[in-house]
Structure 1
Amino acid sequence: MNEITNNETTNNEIANTEITNLATSLSEVQSSDKRVETLIRAISDKKATNIVILDLREIVSFTDYFILCSGRATRQVQAIADEAQDQLRKQGCRTSHIEGYQKAEWILMDYGDFVVHIFGQEAREFYDLERLWRDAKRTEIKDEQ
């Protein structure tokens, strides 16, 4: 999440820097909120790229946030979805609906207050949800380096 240029930086320093930066980036996300934070950590752990939170609270009534991310290959997209589901389940959060897992071009996971969109690279560019929801407040989470 944070580019570390000093080769002597310890793993603890890197982890603390990443957690601090993540907390700062997520500070505007309300309390669907601890769950969204858990989700971001889970998908980051599986090396999801281009993580974006779209705040839809002032635009639609069916959800608060879209969380978008990308994976480089089918297996990675599925692994991101699996980790997200596992970590959220540990917090007692269950998805009401999952689509697209088998093909893994675009996996949609509906948690009610937030919807997770995990894309392969081509599908992300093709569907371009950021453009479709351009009126939403956008928060980008920096990729790990």
Structure 2
Amino acid sequence: MEIAVKAADEKHANDIKVLNISEVSIVADYFVIMDAGSQRQVDAIVQSVLDKAGENDVEIGHVEGNRNSDWVLIDLHDVIIHVFTAEQRDFYNLEKLWSNAKEVDISNLVTEE
């Protein structure tokens, strides 16, 4: 989870949130949710996460979405990363959908804006 957060932060992802879903779902332990100002930035964030995962021998399960997508999902098995454009994040509102999950404090992992 830390690798994904730091990789996204390096590419200036907006409003990174981490939800601990381990007590409310069997699909993963964490959701990492963020948005970007453009599809190009979504691509850059996704590539950064994939690169850092590979460098740290984190197994990449599946990537859903492709270049020019408004929402890309990266499955790192215990951690699912959601990279949205701002409009799609507002539309799908995963934070509300998973409101019974606990938010994880990541202030020590991201830079101040």
TM-score (norm 2): 0.91
CA distances 1:40-69 after superposition (whole Å, capped 9, x unpaired): 111000000110001011111121000001
Where does the alignment leave 5 or more consecutive residues of structure 2 unmatched?
none
Cα distance, 1:99 vs structure 2: 1.0
Matched, 1:144 2:112: yes
CA RMSD of aligned residues (A): 1.3
Matched, 1:133 2:98: yes
State the AA in 1 paired with 2:112: E
1:31-46 alignment runs, 5 A limit: 36-46=1-11
Where does the alignment leave 5 or more consecutive residues of structure 1 unmatched?
1-35
- Taking every aligned residue pair, what percent have the same amino acid on both sides? 34
Structure 1 residues 140 and 128, CA gap change in structure 2 (3 angstroms): farther
Matched, 1:91 2:56: yes
Q: Runs (4+) of structure 1 moved beyond 3 Å?
A: 140-144
The residue that corresponds to 1:12 in the other structure is none
Cα distance, 1:141 vs structure 2: 4.2
User: Could you tell me whether the CA contact under 8 Å between 1:59 and 1:136 is conserved in 2?
Assistant: yes
Larger radius of gyration: 1
TM-score (norm 1): 0.72
Matched, 1:113 2:82: no
